[in-house]
Structure 1
Amino acid sequence: MQIISGTTEFHIEEKTAVAIGKFDGIHLGHRKLLNYILEQKKDDLKAVVFTFDPSPEEFFAGQSISQLFTREEKRNAFEKLGIDVLIEFPLTEVTAATEPEDFVRRILVHQLNADYIAAGTDVSFGNKGRGDRHLLRSMAKEMGYELELIDKVRLDGEEISSTRVRNEISDGNMPMAKRLLGAGYSVSGIVEHGRHIGHTIGVPTVNILPPDNKLLPPYGVYSSNVSFDGAVYRGMTNIGRKPTISDKERVGVETYIYDFDADVYGKYMEIELLEFLRPEMKFDSIDALKKQIESDLERAAK
Structure 2
Amino acid sequence: MQIIEKMTKFSIEGPSAVAIGKFDGIHRGHRKLLEDLYKEKEKGKKTVIFTFDPSPASFFAGETVPGLMTKEEKRQWFLENGIDVLVEFPMNKETAAIPADVFVRKYLVEQMNAKYVVAGLDVSFGDKGKGDWNLLQSLGHELGFETHFIKKVECNGREISSTYVREEITNGNMENAAFLLGFPYTFSGVVKHGRALGRTIGIPTINIVPDKEKILPPNGVYFSKVQIGNKTYKGMTNVGCKPTVDSKGEIVIETFIYDFKEDVYDEDVSVSLLKFRRPEKKFADINELKEQMEKDLAAGKEYEIPATMLT
Cα deviations across residues 251-290 of structure 1 (Å, max 9, x unaligned)?
0101111122333222222111100011111122222222
Query: What's 2:121 paired with?
Result: 121
Which amino acid in the other structure matches residue 130 of structure 2? R
Q: Residue 83 of structure 2 aligns with which residue?
A: 83
- For structure 2, which runs of at least 5 residues remain unmatched after alignment? 303-311
Q: Does 1:203 align with 2:203?
A: yes
Aligned position for 1:173: 173
The code of the aligned residue for 2:125 comes to F
Name 2:276's counterpart in structure 1: 276
1:228 aligns with 2:220: no
Q: Which moved more, 1:218-227 or 1:69-78?
A: 69-78
1:112 paired residue number = 112
Q: CA deviation at 1:80?
A: 2.5
Q: CA deviation at 1:231?
A: 2.0
Greater CA deviation, 69-78 or 95-104?
A: 69-78
Instruction: Report the counterpart of residue 13 of structure 2 in structure 1.
Output: 13
Partners of 1:103 and 1:262 in 2: CA distance: 53
Q: 1:150 — aligned with what?
A: 150
Q: 1:23-102 alignment to 2 at 5 Å?
A: 23-102=23-102
Between the aligned partners of 1:286 and 1:7, the Cα distance in structure 2 is 53
User: Cα–Cα, structure 1 residues 261 and 11, in superposed 2: closer, same or farther, change >3 Å?
Assistant: farther
> How far is 1:22 from its partner?
0.9
| Root mean square deviation of aligned Cα | 1.4
Distance 2:7 2:76 in 1: 20
Aligned partners of 1:229, 1:25: CA distance in 2, in Å? Answer: 22
Shift of 1:184: 0.9
Letter in 1 for 2:154: R
Report the CA distance between 1:74 and its aligned residue.
Answer: 1.8
141-150 vs 49-58, greater mean Cα deviation: 141-150
Whole-Å separation in 1 of the counterparts to 2:194 and 2:44: 48
User: What secondary structure, in the 3-state scheme, does the structure 2 residue paired with 1:199 have?
Assistant: helix
Q: Secondary structure at the match of 1:57?
A: helix
Letter paired with 2:227: S
Residue type of the alignment partner of 2:141: K
Question: Post-superposition shift, 1:155?
Answer: 0.8
Unaligned runs of 5+ in 1: none
Which residue of structure 1 lines up, in the alignment, with residue 308 of structure 2?
A: none
Matched, 1:187 2:190: no
Q: Secondary structure of the equivalent of 2:42?
A: helix
Q: Helix, strand or coil for the counterpart of 1:43?
A: coil
- Native 8 Å contact 2:69 2:213 kept in 1: no
Q: Deviations over 1:174-207 (max 9, x none)?
A: 1111111111111112221111111222211111
* SS of alignment partner, residue 264 of structure 1: coil
Moved over 3 A (4+): none
- TM norm structure 2: 0.93
Higher mean C-alpha displacement, 196-205 vs 219-228 = 196-205
Aligned length: 302
Q: Give runs of aligned pairs for residues 204-219 of structure 1, distance below 5 A.
A: 204-219=204-219
SS at the partner of 2:110? helix
Moved more, 199-208 or 72-81: 72-81
In 1, are the aligned partners of 2:169 and 2:216 still within 8 Å (CA)? yes
| 1:160 alignment counterpart | 160
1-side partners of 2:213 and 2:222: how far apart?
Answer: 20
Distance 2:48 2:96 in 1: 21
TM-score between the two structures when normalised by the length of structure 1: 0.96
For 2:108 and 2:213, locate their aligned partners in 1 and report how far apart those are by CA, in whole Å: 30
Contact 2:184–2:274 (Cα < 8 Å) also in 1: yes
Identity rate, percent:
54
Whole-angstrom distance in 2 between the partners of 1:25 and 1:291: 37
Q: Deviations over 1:117-162 (max 9, x none)?
A: 1100111111111111111111113322221110111112111121
Give me the whole-angstrom Cα distance separating, in 2, the residues matched to 1:3 and 1:61: 26
Q: Deviations over 1:182-238 (max 9, x none)?
A: 111111122211111112222111111012342111101000111221221111110
Shift in Å, 1:64: 2.3
Tell me whether 37-46 or 268-277 shows the greater mean CA deviation: 37-46
Name the SS for the 1:177 alignment partner. helix
What SS class does the counterpart of residue 30 from structure 1 fall into? Answer: helix
Query: 2 CA distance for matches of 1:228 and 1:46?
Result: 33
- Paired with 2:100 and 2:215, the residues of 1 have a C-alpha distance of 32
